[in-house]
Structure 1
Amino acid sequence: MTEEKLQYIEEAGIAFELFGMTRMAGRILGYLIICDKESVSFNEIMEALKASKGSISGTTKQLIHVGFIEPVSLPGDRKTYYRISNMQVGSILQERIKLYEKFSEVLEKGRRLRLKEDRVASWTLEVASFYMWLGKEVDQVIKKWEREKEEVIKTYTENNESRKK
């Protein structure tokens, strides 16, 4: 693997940490993005990233759960392979909306159980309200994305091509 690809994998790991996920999750996703194969085995990931079996196992489960990667089987092969998911961006965000709503419900329940109107209750109310609101806003963004994605992708591609020159 080239030095540039190894560096990209590490950059992906650091970027994922900014999203609150593990560095290993970003490294695995980064590897799958730059890998020339459609799908790779567990052992290939482990060897490429020089990581432990436990680390790769737990992280691939996490990435499957959030919809970034998916396990696949190949005919005549008992190994499990992994590839970038076919899940649409909107579907990934829809799953996030459910988490926002659940988080909001938990905060609201805690606020009610507090039985005291103070700074903590105010903070909890604001955060619970924000996540409920955010879920509704993200839903609208997904719908807008579906309407406009071809044009957005075209513009993005054109802008990136002009930057390379």
Structure 2
Amino acid sequence: MTELSIRERELVGRFGLFTEMTGGQRIPGMLVGYLLICAPEEQSITEIATALNVSKASVSTVMRQLQQVRAVERVPVADSRQHYYRLTGNWIEMIRARWRFLDAGRDLAEAGMAVVADDPRRRERMRDFADFLSFLVEELGNDLTARWEAYQAKRKAEREAPR
């Protein structure tokens, strides 16, 4: 990709700030923002680092994290030995990857209840936390995927409809 324009740089920076405001770190947000606007959509670690003025080590580390939550995928590019990445575009899969953390948190809370079993008040706090995480897993898992797919199909049809 050619050098980012001032407006594109500002947009990518705002993605970083958005991620920070939601409890994450800035660079993953910047990478997602960049991958949303870059051309071609496949970018090497070197290209990303240069465009964002960050280290290749940071880009590499964050790309591994984004791969774990299925936000990006590594793709082959002919005649290149570098690693290239692009967004998967599978946003619901990203959320599903996060759900697994909810399961782990619920399991931790369940284990915590055994640790504080002799104190009803502490056990109740732990039970409330476990119940909340169970609720989230059930609510998010029930039909969120189906609702997203229906919404996405509707929006796509609206965009493609003749005017």
The match for 1:51 among 29, 54, 58 is 54
1:16 partner amino acid? T
Report the Cα offset of residue 154 of structure 1: 6.0
Match of 1:162 in 2: none
Alpha-carbon distance in structure 2 between the residues aligned to 1:2 and 1:43: 18
5+ long unaligned stretches in structure 2: none
Report the Cα offset of residue 102 of structure 1: 1.4
1:76-135 CA-to-partner distances (Å, cap 9, x unmatched) read 21111111114x333222222222111101111012122233443222211111111101
2:130 partner amino acid? A
Alpha-carbon distance in structure 2 between the residues aligned to 1:120 and 1:18: 31
Match of 1:18 in 2: 21
The match for 1:117 among 116, 119, 126 is 119
2:40 partner amino acid? K
1:114-159 CA-to-partner distances (Å, cap 9, x unmatched) read 223344322221111111110111112222222343225567x7xx
Alpha-carbon distance in structure 1 between the residues aligned to 2:49 and 2:150: 39
Q: Contact 1:46–1:56 at 8 Å: present in 2 too?
A: yes
Aligned length: 155
**Superposed, which structure 2 residues align to 1:81-160 within 5 Å?**
81-86=84-89, 88-139=90-141, 140-152=143-155
Alpha-carbon distance in structure 1 between the residues aligned to 2:56 and 2:152: 38
2:78 partner amino acid? P
1:73 equivalenced with 2:102 (yes/no): no
Match of 1:9 in 2: 12
Q: Contact 2:36–2:87 at 8 Å: present in 1 too?
A: yes
1:34 partner amino acid? I
Match of 1:37 in 2: 40
- What secondary structure, in the 3-state scheme, does the structure 2 residue paired with 1:67 have? coil
Cα RMSD (Å): 1.9
